[in-house]
């Protein structure tokens, strides 16, 4: 492209008046239009005017999408500005035309910053930078930073990547992507949320597996729901005592992406002790026979999308039924700092099913997860206690297997909860009693 950016000026006519006054619908549509075109959303701000009308902007890594609506005329004025050639603004145009139920639209594309008319300024641009200077190519252009950002309305995580998106496919369940980050290696994301990276995935996978395996040493059969990246089964299969490990992953694209670009996590998919099933984990649990598994690990994403059904009392009750009398359930249980409401709610659910004294929380530090503090649950159907384990065996195993995070001291320390976590769990229990 012989310009710095593409700017499309759009007018949408005969739109749904109701939709043109629905600020939530408009913001969601604008964000989705950016993401559908392959843009990286940084932030968005929208305002509803009285008595009607909406204005807003979606800031993207590649520039912006902006809108103002006149519901009384069923009309919207939109501009779509993208820098470079990695994002096609016409994809956003088509998406918004459908989202606003527009009868017809008119548009004009401008090429902004014609390179033939530009020349580099001799001014010291590096003096304006708040970071180290970026490299300058032979033709005088600047190699710009490219960032992946996972965010909600209150917090964000940004990781710089090479600009090389290794994998991007939409399954019937979610968008599966792999980015080549500079600090954490290849990174798997689902619907824009970080699942794992090459540099720190071992923390999650070692803690979700070795804590229960050294606390429940009689386990012979293990089931993993989710975990299509392969890291959890990789760690489980280090334990020779396990005769059978079953992995049930709903999305085959997750498995495909990790085989291609995160081979360290996907290394155990060919293990003869692994029974790999691509199907719905909820259905599998519902159809599973009573008392089938000694250990069930729910290695789910956050409670949205295909993982939403894995955060219900009905599902956990079925897991309880599928455990042997001494069986143990392990789950990732969110960040107590980032998602306190969900954190408290799921622990109250576990306690109702397993019993107040049978549910334990433990923590690990995972830099690329929101707030860096992540929790796991240990719920025992029988008398298994997570702090009653063979320290010598755990120490020997950690050394022989070359583990990077788990050891006998970490096992014990993980259950030493900060006061704010204790208060969350205690207050949740008290609220349940008072209700």
Active site residue: 7, 15, 22, 63, which one?
63
Q: Is 299 annotated as a binding residue?
A: yes
**Which residue is catalytic, options 14, 25, 55, 68?**
68
139 is in an annotated binding site: no
Residues whose CB falls within 8 Å of the CB of residue 332, separated by 6 or more in sequence, listed in order? 204, 208, 298, 299, 300, 374, 375, 376
Q: Which of 29, 64, 79, 83 is catalytic?
A: 83
Task: Assess contact for 342 and 311: CB atoms under 8 A.
Answer: yes
The answer to whether 302 is a known ligand-binding residue is yes
CA distance 227 to 265: 10
* Pure H helices in 22-171: 23-36, 89-99
Per-residue DSSP letter, 214: H
Residue 229 assigned ligand-binding role = yes
The radius of gyration computed from the CA coordinates of the chain, to the nearest angstrom, equals 25
Alpha-carbon gap, residue 298 to 224, rounded angstroms: 6
361 labelled catalytic: no
294 is catalytic: no
Q: Is 239 a catalytic residue?
A: no
Angle between helices 89-99 and 23-36 (to 10 degrees): 150
- Given a contact cutoff of 8 angstroms between Cβ atoms, the answer to whether 147 and 161 are in contact is yes
281 assigned to a ligand binding site: yes
Out of 299, 322, 380, 398, pick the active-site residue: 299
Tokens for 29? Answer: 């549509």
300 is in an annotated binding site: yes
Is position 163 annotated in a ligand binding site? Answer: no
Do the annotations mark residue 48 as ligand-binding? no
Distance from first CA to last CA of the chain, Å, rounded? 63
Q: What dihedral angle (degrees, nearest 10) is formed by the CA atoms of 30, 31, 32, 36?
A: 100
**Is 88 among the annotated ligand-binding positions?**
no
Percent of the chain as helix, strand, coil, to the nearest 5 = 35, 35, 35
Buried residues in 253-270 as b, exposed as e (16+ CB within 10 A): bbbbbbbebbebbbbbbe
Is 326 considered catalytic here? Answer: no
Ligand-binding site membership of 249 (annotated): yes
What residues contact 376, with CB distance under 8 A and at least 6 apart? Answer: 207, 208, 211, 330, 331, 332, 333, 361, 362, 363, 364, 414
Under 8 Å between Cβ of 115 and 2: yes
64 assigned binding-site residue: no
Query: d(Cα 222, Cα 212) in Å, to the nearest integer?
Result: 11
Which neighbouring-strand residues pair with 3?
114
How far is 311 from 348, CA to CA, in rounded Å? 12
Question: Which residues contribute to the annotated binding site for spermidine?
Answer: 205, 229, 299-302
Question: Which residues contribute to the annotated binding site?
Answer: 174, 205, 229, 249, 280-281, 299-302, 306
Question: Which residues contribute to the annotated binding site for S-methyl-5'-thioadenosine?
Answer: 174, 249, 280-281, 306
Residues designated as active site: 63, 68, 83, 299
């Amino acid at each position: 492209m012989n310009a710095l950016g593409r700017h499309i000026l759009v007018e949408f006519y005969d739109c749904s008046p109701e939709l043109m006054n629905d600020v939530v619908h408009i913001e969601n549509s604008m964000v989705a239009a950016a993401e559908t075109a392959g843009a990286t959303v940084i932030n968005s701000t929208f305002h509803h005017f009285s008595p009607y009308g909406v204005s807003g902007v979606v800031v993207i890594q590649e520039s912006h999408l902006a809108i103002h609506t006149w519901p009384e005329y069923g009309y919207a004025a939109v501009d779509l500005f993208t820098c470079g050639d990695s994002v096609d603004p016409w994809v956003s145009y088509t998406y918004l035309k459908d989202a606003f139920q527009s009868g017809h639209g008119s548009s004009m594309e401008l090429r902004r910053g014609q390179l033939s008319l530009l020349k580099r300024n001799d001014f010291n641009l590096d003096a304006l930078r708040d970071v180290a200077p970026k490299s300058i190519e032979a033709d005088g252009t600047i190699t710009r930073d490219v960032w992946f950002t996972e965010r909600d309305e209150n917090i964000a995580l940004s990781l710089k990547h090479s600009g090389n998106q290794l994998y991007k496919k939409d399954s019937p369940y979610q968008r599966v992507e792999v980015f080549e980050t500079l600090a954490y290696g290849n990174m798997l994301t689902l619907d824009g949320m970080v699942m794992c990276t090459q540099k720190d995935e071992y923390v999650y996978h070692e803690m979700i597996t070795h804590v229960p395996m050294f606390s429940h040493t009689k386990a012979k059969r293990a089931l993993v729901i989710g975990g299509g990246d392969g890291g959890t089964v990789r760690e489980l299969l280090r334990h020779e005592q396990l005769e059978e490990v079953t992995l049930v992953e709903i999305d085959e694209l997750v498995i495909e992406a990790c085989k291609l670009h995160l081979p360290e996590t996907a290394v155990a998919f060919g293990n003869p002790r692994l029974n790999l099933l691509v199907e719905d984990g909820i259905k599998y649990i519902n159809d599973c026979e009573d008392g089938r598994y000694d250990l069930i690990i729910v290695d789910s994403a956050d409670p949205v999308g295909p993982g939403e059904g894995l955060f219900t009392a009905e599902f956990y009750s079925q897991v309880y039924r599928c455990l042997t009398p001494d069986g143990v359930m392990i789950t990732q249980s969110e960040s107590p700092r980032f998602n306190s409401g969900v954190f408290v709610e799921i622990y109250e659910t576990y306690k109702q099913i397993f019993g107040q004294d049978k549910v334990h929380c433990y923590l690990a530090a995972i830099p690329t997860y929101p707030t860096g503090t992540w929790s796991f649950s240990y719920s025992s159907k029988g008398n298994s206690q997570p702090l009653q384990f063979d320290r010598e065996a755990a120490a020997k195993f950690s050394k022989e297997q070359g583990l990077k995070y788990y050891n006998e001291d970490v096992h014990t320390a993980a259950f030493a909860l900060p006061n704010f976590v204790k208060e969350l769990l205690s207050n949740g229990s008290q609220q349940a009693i008072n209700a």
